[in-house]
Each structure stands twice: as C-alpha cells, then as structure tokens.
Structure 1
Amino acid sequence: MLEELQRVVEALAHRLGRAVALDDLDFRLLAYSTHADAGDEWRARVILSRGAPPEAVAWLRRQRLGRATGPVRLPAENDLGILPRLVVPVVYQDVRFGYLWLFDTEDSLTGAQLELASAAAAEAGAICFRERVVSHLRTAREGELVRDLLSEDPQVRGMASARLVEEDLFALRGDVTAVVARPLPAGADGVDEDDRIALQAAVNTASARLGDRGSLRLVRPDHAVLVMPSATLRRSPELPEALRTTSLERLGRSAKWRDVHVAVGSPARRLDDAVTSYTQALDALRVAEVVPSFAPLVAHESLGIYALLAGQPIDQLGTYGVHPAVRRLLEADRQLFTTAELYLDRAGDARATATELGLHRASVYHRVRRIEDVTELDLSDGQHRLLLHLGIKVSRLLGLA
C-alpha cells in the first residue's frame, strides 16, 4: 500500500511543481514527494521522525480538519514553523483515512490544480480502503484458522497449522508460545461486546509491535490470545506487561474492572501444538485468580506444584484433593494453615519460616507441633508432608483458603 501511495504523491508533486505529503488521521507520515521545494520546518521534522510534534498535532486538532469535506487552506503558524498550506481530506466511501498536504505559501493554486489534488486524494482513499478490506478479510481468515489451531482435534490443528504457513499468515520460526489476557469484571455483568472490541484493539496493538506475520490473534468471549514465536518473547519479555497495560487503557480504567491478568504458557515445539501452551496459560490464569501472589502477570513455568494441580478437572480436585487433615487445619486456625504452607514451601526449614513470619524459631517449632496435633500427621514423615502440602495447594485452587 505504501508504495502505491508514494506513486500517487510523486505524480501529483510532478504535475503541480510543488511539495506534496500524505498523513494518516493521527498526522503520521505515510508518503512525501522528493520535490526540491522542501516545505517548512514542521514538514522537515515530520519527515525525520515520521510523525508530527505534539504541539503541532494539538494546533492541527484545533483546526477541526476532521469535519472538512473538501480542500481547506491553513494559515501560517510562525511559532511552530508552519507555512501556509492546503489540506485535502483523503476520503473514500465516506470513510476518512488521512490528509493530503500541498504547500501554497502564495495562495497560487488554480482551480484546475485543486481538482488534480482532490482526484489524487480520492485515489489515495481508494488505495487505503482496498487495503482495509484486504486487512479485514485477512484478520477474519486468521481468526478462523487460529480457532482451529486451538481445537481439541489433532487433525484439525494440523490442517490449520499448515494453512497459516501456506497462506503466509504466520512466519514459522521454531517453537511458539501462547499469551492470554483476561479482564476481571468487578461485578457479575461479565465481558460484553464493547469490551471484546476493546480487547481486540489491545491485541491488535500488541500484534502490530511484532510486525507482519509475527503473531496470531484471537478474541474469545472472556479473553484474548496471542500466539508468537518463543524467540520473540525471549527478546521482548516486556510484551505481557505491555499487553496488560494496553488492555486496561482500551477497556477504560473504571470501577467495572478489578484488573486484567495476563498469562504466558510454556513453549510448544510445533505450531500445531500451540494448544498446549494456550491451555497452560489458561491454567495459569486460573491459579492467579485464586492465589493473588501470582497476579497480575503469571507464567505457567513459575507455578510449581500448581502447574500439575491446575491441569486437573476442578470437580476431581474437589472430590479427591482436599484431605480431611487439611479441612481440620482450616477449621482450627487459619494462622496455623498459613504457617504450615510456608513451612512446607520452605522444605521444613524452620529458620527461613521464622524469618518470613517475623517469629522466633521456637515459636515456629511450637506451631509445627500444633499442626501435627490438629492434622494427625507426622511432618517428619515425607509422605505425610507431601499429603499435607498438596492438600493445602488444592484448597487454594478451590478457593477454600
């Protein structure tokens, strides 16, 4: 698209004998002529940085160009180094895509030249419109194939993986990782269609950072998925945090949302195994919601024993996972429950447990004896320690603790 827009700009500049430039709606430079008339200080800065300075953007916004239906003459703004110019809205099928700029310091453009400029703006609009349609079709096709890629059916996944590569929708570079973002509503309303659109915009922003064919996107009823080469995530470990920040901004920071949690699955060796990384990310989100210490950014590889437990059906955990000893501990004293968990997390190290709890070591030994009395377990026995440790973690997942 940019090459086509450049040809339109160069052709118009040649016919008019003056500098021409084309910006998008945010005044980011898309194309500019190489005409000898270099323009003004502002245009020089735009060419160097590919975008307008903030103070110039603010001035342009005040000109209400978004309401213009035809060519508009803008006066000089000496403080910003802006010379007089003509701006033509780039519109096609009533959709506005940007602005075509011509330098006109002496108000010398004729009616015929204005018609040429308007025709060039219309041609640029048609190019942008066509690109948008192609982009929408590409996104729809990508979404369809990503849904199949995350299917439970291995044959469907294999076909989707092959299609994504064959249709040049994804550049396969080694193993892949799934990153999942889930908004957490404060009430019972859940995620509505407007929220999903906002989440889609956030995922699109994150995907744009990864370049063409650098990721795969999908928005589901209550979460969004990005699948990318694992090497990309290793080079840019800030991506999950950036996705969370962008999601919060797009959704709007309001009382409707508690937070947005983002989880990273473990790398999958092949694209058609991306569903494994995706499932792991969902498991990690489940853990983060009930164990706050993992939130708001969680990696499946950091879950420890929770990685094993979270992969089990919740009803099965409820039936078999919580040992009566754990239930007795929960009912007896939550302080003892916390001490038991920390003591077992630290492999029975009383000194480390005491330090973290701010207690004397003797107090920890006293609590351990009380824990043994309540649970009827011997914490010097490895099997008893394992039983209690797993039971405590399961109770966390079930929201009992």
Structure 2
Amino acid sequence: MADVQQLVDQLAERLQRSVAVDTPRGHLIASSKHFGDEDTPRINVVLSRDLEPRVAKYLFSFGIRSASENVLIPAKPELGLKARCCYPLRHHRRLLGFIWLIDDCAPDDVVRPYADQIAEALGQQEDSAEADTHRLTELGRQLLSTAYDANHVATALTENGFASVDSLVRVVAVAQPLHRARSVRFPVLRTSGPAREWMRPGRDMIEVDLDAAAVLICARRAGDADEGLDRLITRLAADLNESGVRIGMSAPGKLLESRALLRQALLAAYAGHIFGELGHVNSWTEMFPHRVLMEMALAFPQSSLPPEGMAALFDPANAVLLETVEAYLDHGGDRTASAEALFIHRSTLYYRLSQVQKLTGLDPANGRSQLALQIAIKLQRIAGSGVAALLQNEEDSV
C-alpha cells in the first residue's frame, strides 16, 4: 500500500508547491515542506493538526464535501487565507479527505494520478481501521460478559494493541431514560470531538452498544494522570442533553475488573435518572450515599420493601404525604424551606407531617426517625424504578 506522506512529498516536489491532505472534518493527515507559498491558516493547521472553526466554515461553504471535481476557493484576507485549490479524495464514492494546494489549481493530469493513489491508500487504511475497531469492539463486549473467560479476553485485547493488563480502566455508561423503548440513537461516542481530544499515546477506548445504553471502556497507563476524562464526559453530556440521557462513570480499576466496573457505571447512570438531586453526570466514587442506597436496594429482597410499618405511606392514596415528608427530609428538616418548595403554608406542612407520624409511628422531627424514613423512601424509590431488572437486562445484552 502506498504511503500517504510519501505521495504528498512526491507531488509537492513535482509541483514545487506545498501540499496538504486533510480529513473531511479538517484534521490534518499529511503535509509537505513549505515552498514559500504557505499562509497563516496553513501554518496553524500544521501546528495544531486541525482547521480553525472559522476557516473551516469558510472553506466548507463552497460545497467541497459534495464536489467530485477540484474547487477553486477565493482568498479571504480577514482570515489571512490565500486562494487555494481543493481536490476531493474519494474511494468507492466515499469522501475520505481533500488535497489542498495554495493559490491556483495545478494541471489535472499531474495531480489526478496522485489523488487517486492517495484516495486508494486512505481507503485501505480506513477499511483496516474499521476491521480493527470491529475486532476490539467484539473483544470489549466479551470482556464485559460473564459468558467468556476474562483472562483470555484481556490477553487478546492486549495482543490486539488495547492497553495492557496493568492499565487503569474506567467504564462510562450513557443510559437513556428508564423504561423507554430504545429510541435514543447514540452517536459513535468514541469518534466524537471530546473523545478524540482525550485520546493520546497510552490511552485507549472501546465502545460497546448495549440494549439501552452505550458503554465506553477507557484505559490509560498506570502512571498517566486521569486528567481530561471528566471534561470528556461533561462535554458528551452537553452534546446529548436533549435526549434525556444520564451518564455514569465507574471507579478506576484493572482491565480484569471491567465487569464490576460496568455495574458501577450503569448504577451511577440509573441513579441520575432516579434521584432528581443528582446531576446528568455521576461518578461512582463521588455519589455517596446514593451508591450505598443503590447497592442496598439491589441486595434487599423485593418482598421486604417497603419496611413493615411504613407500607401505608407508599399507598398511592397517600402520595401527597409521601411527597411532603420527602421534601421535608431533603431540606434537612427546615420547615420554611420545605413549605416554600411545596408551595404550601407552613400550617399545612405541620398537619401533613403529623399525619405521617400517625401512619408510620415515626416522628419526622426526630433524628432516628428521619434516618429511617429517608432510607425507606430512597430504597422504595429505587425498587419501584425497576432498576434491578434493567441492570440484569443490560448485563444480559452484552
């Protein structure tokens, strides 16, 4: 297979002009030495590997992504941009990138043979990369599944270039709203802008699609700081905000612990759906006491919830009382704040709390009773969400 960089250098020498090849999104693939024709945007893209957004917007406005022939783009002095000629690179009709020449277009009979070879090389690279991605994705799925030997799968992953056995791993789960049929079409998160920014030597990522969640297995060398992953997840959450998803992130662990880390990530994401006080992104290591409550609810026999003596509080006929005491507890027993949050008079609040005491025998103003009520309400909410079945379904779908 021809080397793209060699072809770019050969074309540049033939033309005695600088040549650059970009991806369809403006990420630099290869560039030749300069021949004195470079401009500020060309220098910047060589240094940063990406087009500036305003430069990209201008260039793409000329329809180069749909073009089949070369396109001459006028200069834009306010961007420091000289005129340039764009040659779309297509392989079996797929747009794989562009050749860029500054100033006028070159003779087609000179550029076209190189363009065809570069397109062929990029096509083969993309096909090979897709095959590698598919292979790693399948191994990632096996790593998360109980149907395969984790040691064998981890060895296969490292042999295929994914991290190493002693790499630190965090699993990220992007979960759609609970009990919704699969309606959220997740983009390919691994190739998103935030994910590409996080990736660098020593870091790897596999994406596995579950029944109603997308999972990222993020690995880094043990000595590599975990910087950037929180920023990556926050940006993904912002991009996916309108779809109503919640994102959970596991604690760091070893590659062989990925199944347990998947459970943590899924529960953290589910907790974001269940508890309004949590945000769109939740880390398992930072969501105490909710992570304890999630594990407690899953460990409790469903028949033991709600606790004896409190069942009446969870009767639909007493929904107003349940809402009232939960708001009161969530506001730390502050009656004024609780009444304001519920849009009721304080005397109404006092009356409802007295009714709660009659139903349960627990005084909401008493510290021990508050603890019992708080735990019971949270556990019942988790149990009522059906999260145990959802978790089992996701783990079975791996």
TM-based fold match above 0.5:
yes
Question: Cα deviation per residue 1:147-205 (whole Å; 9 max; x = unaligned)?
Answer: 1111125x6222212221222122555542211111338x955326xx1xxx2423432
Whether the 8 Å CA contact 1:240–1:263 is kept in 2: the answer is: no
Whether the 8 Å CA contact 2:297–2:379 is kept in 1: the answer is: no
1:215-294 aligned at under 5 Å gives the runs 215-229=205-219, 233=226, 236-248=229-241, 253=242, 257=243, 259-268=244-253, 270-294=254-278
Kindly tell me: are residues 132 and 287 of structure 1, through their superposed partners in 2, closer, same or farther at Cα, counting changes over 3 Å? same
1:2-401 aligned at under 5 Å gives the runs 4-78=3-77, 80-105=79-104, 109-110=106-107, 114-153=108-147, 156-171=149-164, 174-184=167-177, 189-191=181-183, 195=185, 199-205=186-192, 206-212=194-200, 213-229=203-219, 233=226, 236-248=229-241, 253=242, 257=243, 259-268=244-253, 270-304=254-288, 306-311=290-295, 317-331=301-315, 334=319, 336-337=321-322, 340-341=325-326, 353-354=334-335, 356-357=337-338, 371-377=356-362, 387-399=372-384
How far apart are the structure 1 equivalents of 2:228 and 2:44? 31
Q: CA deviation at 1:22?
A: 1.6
Kindly tell me: are residues 365 and 148 of structure 1, through their superposed partners in 2, closer, same or farther at Cα, counting changes over 3 Å? same
Question: Structure 1: where are the runs of 5+ without partners?
Answer: none
Kindly tell me: are residues 74 and 385 of structure 1, through their superposed partners in 2, closer, same or farther at Cα, counting changes over 3 Å? closer
Secondary structure of the 2:22 match is strand
Kindly tell me: are residues 125 and 366 of structure 1, through their superposed partners in 2, closer, same or farther at Cα, counting changes over 3 Å? same
How far apart are the structure 2 equivalents of 1:376 and 1:115? 91
Secondary structure of the 1:170 match is coil
Q: Aligned pair count?
A: 374
Secondary structure of the 2:257 match is helix
TM-score (norm: length of structure 1): 0.77
Kindly tell me: are residues 200 and 312 of structure 1, through their superposed partners in 2, closer, same or farther at Cα, counting changes over 3 Å? farther
Residue identity over aligned pairs, in percent, reads 23
Whether the 8 Å CA contact 1:178–1:227 is kept in 2: the answer is: yes
Whether the 8 Å CA contact 2:246–2:269 is kept in 1: the answer is: yes
Question: Which segment drifts farther, 137-146 or 210-219?
Answer: 210-219
Q: CA deviation at 1:322?
A: 0.5
Secondary structure of the 2:139 match is helix
Kindly tell me: are residues 219 and 327 of structure 1, through their superposed partners in 2, closer, same or farther at Cα, counting changes over 3 Å? same
Q: CA deviation at 1:344?
A: 6.4
How far apart are the structure 1 equivalents of 2:280 and 2:365? 36
Kindly tell me: are residues 354 and 24 of structure 1, through their superposed partners in 2, closer, same or farther at Cα, counting changes over 3 Å? same
Whether the 8 Å CA contact 1:176–1:267 is kept in 2: the answer is: yes
Whether the 8 Å CA contact 1:181–1:243 is kept in 2: the answer is: no
Counterpart amino acid of residue 209 in structure 1: E
Question: Which segment drifts farther, 64-73 or 16-25?
Answer: 64-73
Q: CA deviation at 1:341?
A: 4.7
Secondary structure of the 1:178 match is strand
Whether the 8 Å CA contact 1:85–1:101 is kept in 2: the answer is: yes
More helix by share: 1
Kindly tell me: are residues 43 and 178 of structure 1, through their superposed partners in 2, closer, same or farther at Cα, counting changes over 3 Å? closer
Q: What do you get for the CA RMSD once the two structures are aligned?
A: 3.8
TM-score (norm: length of structure 2): 0.78
Counterpart amino acid of residue 4 in structure 1: D
Whether the 8 Å CA contact 1:286–1:310 is kept in 2: the answer is: no
Counterpart amino acid of residue 326 in structure 1: M
Whether the 8 Å CA contact 2:72–2:83 is kept in 1: the answer is: yes
Whether the 8 Å CA contact 1:265–1:277 is kept in 2: the answer is: yes
Question: Cα deviation per residue 1:36-77 (whole Å; 9 max; x = unaligned)?
Answer: 333344434443444444444333233322343233444545
Kindly tell me: are residues 341 and 13 of structure 1, through their superposed partners in 2, closer, same or farther at Cα, counting changes over 3 Å? same
How far apart are the structure 2 equivalents of 1:83 and 1:288? 50
Kindly tell me: are residues 13 and 320 of structure 1, through their superposed partners in 2, closer, same or farther at Cα, counting changes over 3 Å? same
Question: Which segment drifts farther, 40-49 or 361-370?
Answer: 361-370
Q: CA deviation at 1:140?
A: 0.9
Q: CA deviation at 1:30?
A: 2.5
